[in-house]
Structure 1
Amino acid sequence: MPLIEIALLFLAGFASGAINAVAGGGTFVSFGALVLLGVPPISANATSSVAQLPGYFTSTLPYLKDIRTMWRGLLVLAAISVVGSLLGALLLLWLDNEQFSAAVPWLLLGATGLFAAGPWLKPKPRHQDEARQGRGLAGPLMQFVTSIYGGFFGAGMGIMMLATLGLTQSGDYHRLNATKNVLANVIAVVAIVVFVSGGVVSWPGAIAMIPGVALGGYAGVWIAKRVPQVAVRVFVISVGLFLAAYYFAKG
């Protein structure tokens, strides 16, 4: 891989890590950079998933104290996430690049719309007696659908999960975010195992991006204090729309 491409992927990883730390949506940047450098879309999706994994792990660390008190309640959702992510990742590998390319612009438009609506989808605190439906079929079913999407594509998965958890689970925003982060790790790890086994990961691209993602996630804290989230959100939405238009034009 040429040095200029390594540098561009490192910068894309840095930007995606920082954006995820500030507002979410960094996958648009990492996936887009790989695609624009000529990586086939299925491989770009898989490689982006691998590159983002360190960020999923580090975003869970601040919630370890909360997770220790709620891990039993996470087991069912985690098990469902394993099955859903496995199905989504296998579905991706079942498609060829031409079929996936046809679906990508629609997936990007949907994920961009979901990201744009993110501020209105933030979950409201729910009391235990208000969330009994979460103990029924609604919570597991919604998580199953979200995990299939996460294993298949992943962009916007965190926002989707926060919205569905807010409808079916009890607790304040931080408890729901802790739950989301744990389940995102589960979904990502399962999908990555499938992608690695399927031989679709571009390891040079992943290796170039991972240090940038790690540094970007750390720098995101500094950026969050100085850059308005509105500006970051506009940038991410612009990237999503640009990529969707690129794939529509390419198709």
Structure 2
Amino acid sequence: MTLAMIGLLFVAGFLSGAVNAIAGGGTFLTFGALTLAGLPPISANATSSIAQFPGYVTSTLAYRHEIAKMWRGAVVLTIASLLGGLGGALILLALDNPSFRAMVPWLLMAATALFAAGPLLKPKASEERATNSLPSILGQFLTAVYGGFFGAGMGIMMLAVLGLTTGGGYHHLNALKNLLATVIAAMALLVFIGGGVVGWPQAVVMIPAVAAGGWAGVWLARRVPQTIMRVLVVAVGIALTIYYFVTG
């Protein structure tokens, strides 16, 4: 890697961490930068997942008190997340790069639309229901398959599904979402590492950058309106979608 490319990856990772802390959607930045760095699409997707993983862990730890109160009810959803994340990651590895490359613009377009609609999908406080109902288990399993396969927009999708199937206040749902996202990401990472598709030099540059960006994002979150960051992420998603459609 050239110094310019190392700088690009670090800046993209830093901005990704900051954007995730403020509004979410940082995967668009890391995936885009890794493809510009020359990684094949499958490897870029896997490496982006590696870079984002510490953020899932810290977000889960931030909700540790809420999770401690609900973990027994979340066991079945955790199992569904493990199985779905495993299935999605294995589906990704079963594809070749040209096949996945053909899917990327469509996945980016769907994820960008989902992210743009995020405020409309944000669940409102409602009566909490059983987390181990059939609709919640099936919905979480399908969300986990998507998360293990691609992942962009997974958090918004999960909040919407959990809001519809389990109910409860926003922080209850967000805590549950963070826990399940960590489980999905961890399972996918084991598959990606075992499959030898991670670009480790690029990941080593991005991981500390994402962590630093997440720390800075907490400061920025108090000063930058989420609407501005959401517009930025949507613009990046649209640009990447157009790029992959044009170059496909």
The corresponding residue for 1:188 is 185
Distance 1:69 1:228 in 2: 32
| 2:227 aligned residue (210, 225, 230) | 230
Gaps of 5+ in 2: none
**CA displacement at 1:229 relative to structure 2:** 1.0
Aligned pairs, number: 248
- Asked if 1:165 corresponds to 2:162, the answer is yes
**CA displacement at 1:74 relative to structure 2:** 1.0
Gaps of 5+ in 1: none
- Asked if 1:58 corresponds to 2:55, the answer is no
Q: Which moved more, 1:62-71 or 1:172-181?
A: 62-71
* Structure 2 contact 76–132 (Cα < 8 Å) conserved: no
* Structure 1 contact 51–213 (Cα < 8 Å) conserved: yes
Distance 1:110 1:145 in 2: 15
State TM-score, norm by structure 1. 0.97
* Structure 1 contact 126–169 (Cα < 8 Å) conserved: no
The corresponding residue for 1:178 is 175
* Structure 2 contact 14–210 (Cα < 8 Å) conserved: yes
The corresponding residue for 2:2 is 2
- What SS does the aligned partner of 1:73 have? coil
**CA displacement at 1:135 relative to structure 2:** 3.8
The corresponding residue for 1:125 is 125
| 2:218 aligned residue (195, 214, 221) | 221
Q: What is the RMSD of the two structures over their aligned residues, measured on CA atoms?
A: 0.9
Moved >6 Å (runs of 4+): none
The corresponding residue for 2:76 is 76
Distance 2:104 2:205 in 1: 24
Distance 1:141 1:33 in 2: 34
The corresponding residue for 1:34 is 34
State TM-score, norm by structure 2. 0.98
Distance 1:32 1:226 in 2: 26
Q: Could you list the per-position Cα deviations for residues 106-128 of structure 1 after superposition, in whole angstroms to 9, with x for gaps in the alignment?
A: 00000000000000101111214
* Structure 1 contact 25–236 (Cα < 8 Å) conserved: yes
* Structure 1 contact 124–173 (Cα < 8 Å) conserved: yes
- Asked if 1:113 corresponds to 2:113, the answer is yes
- What SS does the aligned partner of 2:72 have? helix
Q: Match for 2:190: what amino acid?
A: V
Assess, with a 3 A threshold, how the Cα gap between structure 1 residues 199 and 135 changes in structure 2: closer, same or farther. Answer: closer
**CA displacement at 1:171 relative to structure 2:** 1.8
